[in-house]
Chains A and B, each alone.
Chain A
Amino acid sequence: MSEQHWLTKPQTIRKLWIILIAVLAITVIAGLFIEFHDHFGIESSFAFYAWYGFATCVLMVVGAKLLGIFLKRPDNYYE
């Protein structure tokens, strides 16, 4: 298979990004029409699950990166 697979072409990847952003926008807009149960006084605020999911993931990735400074070793460490 010498020629590039269609899924790896830059045009396709561009389209995929556009689709992803469109879907994200749709879920946020759909959220405006739904009443969220407010157990803790924040879940019904605008796009709560969206920003909460994004922010906590950034925190986890950065947190893992920082811990990695102390925890990572070459993968032949135990040999």
Chain B
Amino acid sequence: MLGETVIHPGLVLILGAALLPLLKGHARSALILGLPVAVLVLVWAIPTTTTVTTTFMGYELTPLRFHPATLVFATIFSIMAFVGGLYAYRQAHIAELSAAFAYAGGAISVTFAGDLISLFVFWEIMALFSAMVLLMNRTRASGRAGMRYLFVHLFGGVVLMIGIIGHINATGSVAFNLMQADSFAHYMILAGFLINAGAPPLSAWLPDAYPEASPSGSVFLSAFTTKTAVFVLLVGFAGTWVLIPIGLYMIFYGIIYALLENDMRRILSYSIVNQVGFMVTGIGIGTEMALNGATAHAFAHIIYKALLLMTAGAVLYQTGKRKCTDLGGLFQSMPITTICAIIGALAISSFPLTSGFISKSMISQSSADTHMALTWFLLAAASAGVFLHAGVKFPWFVFFQKDSGLRPPEPPINMRLAMYLFSFLCIALGVYPDPLYAILPYTVNYVPYTAEHVIAQLQLLLFSGLAFFVLLPMMKRTLTISLDFDWFYRVLFPGIWRMFMRIGNPAWSGVKKRTLSFIEWLVDLVTRHHQPEGILARTWPTGSMVLWIAVLLGGYILLSLFV
């Protein structure tokens, strides 16, 4: 690090996360609640002109710089860590909380990364610790889902790395700035980013994994991975047209699968893909208003999606049930949770006076301004569809519909406080969006509250609600899941492998026998030459010197990554 000391907010959170399990009692509580606040203060204390550079293997690394969108994303990630910590604080396993903070720290660090190498390192930190969050639910299902999750993300990491190496080879620069999707390397970087965004064809990793986490685990998971993907797409590929069809596909994929789904947290997971689709479309449109819209929507989305998953988590925590077919009528004994869920549902549906209204509309407005008719009509239909699958379906089937006879009490106080905070923010941002507009990447020339916009949105949403209740018989929940791309790696590939093993086994044992005897012959040969009296057995100090130099260099590289 050069010059005056700048403390990297992301690293503070990662190191603090490592401290968490070592502390006990009040010290631990203080750290859980205090650390994210300290990180938020740090994010805001660093002047936005600051750049920290360091040299590594001849490359100029920039672990800290401010992109115009950095402040918004780092702010909401810190807030999320705080409220998530509050929600998880007594109920979650300390290892889960520690992993979640390290994961959040990785996400914050990505928003500060000014070069592709730092970006990649923090990207992988996120992959590892998010998988840890998932595994810490310690069920058989979460263990298996965690391994599938890790497999997809490590694959995504390899794709990204291939792209980064290609980019460095071609340009000689590691700087992370706006790119064009014009070469193999850049396509690979784009694909690596999109895998984390939940884009097709691999979208299934998200609804496969998130519902298997603990109640608090899924709250953390919903916030960081997809939204850092949105951030890096915004920095690297703003205005790349191919993102428009990809985003629109994600939007309708999310709606259709959520409509078919029975597991309450999987409904919300599909809805994450749907919402990120709006942001990806906005980034593809690429005008200043569209990028502002995508950024504001990411900010608003983290809050209401976490709120919705908190209410679902509260239900799961109190009843142990997760399927709509087992739930219903919970409003009678959980009125507070129900109201919080309704606020989250209104916000995700972009109802006037909620946060979704002041953010998402910038994206559709920008499609109208750029005369993209098809995009605009699809976005309008999608807005109605969001109300259908998340706005009405989720609260209706969990808290109302038929009476399941369950009468669980409200969740513990810390969970309630977390839900209050985010419910408040959903409405506060909707009523008074100016503070959010003030930190968006570009100057905001947009007035959300016009009579035209309010009435148009109310017509769209309320008639969508009418469609829901008119079609209610068609929405009856069934004990089913829906096939997705994960079928290939959960059924087809293992099936082919088993078939191969069945046919190949006899042949394989022959190969194994021959290989083993070859190795025996080799070992024999080496032993003859290297045994104590052997010709090559004399001491040869340079050999061990080379080994130790390699070890030292390796250590130095590792250290210089963090210093």
Contacts and interface: CB of A to CB of B under 8 A. Distances in A.
Interface in A33-60: 34-37, 39-40, 43, 47, 49-54, 56-60
Nearest to A56: B381
A60 B256 contact: yes
A66 to B, nearest CB: 10
Contact of B259 (A1, A5, A61, A75): A61
Nearest to A57: B467
Interface string B539-553: 000000000000000
Contact of A68 (B373, B457, B460, B482): B482
B256 A47 contact: no
Interface residues of A, number: 45
Nearest to A62: B474
Contacts of A72: 260, 478, 480-483
Contact of B388 (A1, A60, A65): A60
B490 interface: yes
B465 A60 contact: no
Contact of A1 (B407, B456, B471, B482): B407
Give the size category of B's interface with A: 35 or more
Per DSSP, chain B at the interface is helix
B546 to A, nearest CB: 50
Interface in B417-451: 451
A14 interface: no
Interface string A60-78: 1111110110111111011
A14 B407 CA distance: 25
B466 interface: yes
Given A7-B331, A61-B474, A71-B260, A53 B461 contact: yes
Given A8-B403, A61-B474, A49 B456 contact: yes
Interface of B: 252, 255-256, 259-260, 262-263, 323, 329, 331-333, 368, 371, 373, 376-377, 380-381, 384-385, 388, 403, 407, 451-452, 455-469, 471, 474-475, 478-484, 490-491
Given A61-B259, A68-B260, 20 more contacts: A1-B332, A20-B462, A36-B452, A43-B456, A49-B455, A49-B460, A49-B463, A50-B460, A50-B462, A53-B459, A54-B467, A60-B255, A64-B260, A65-B474, A67-B260, A68-B480, A72-B260, A72-B482, A73-B483, A75-B263
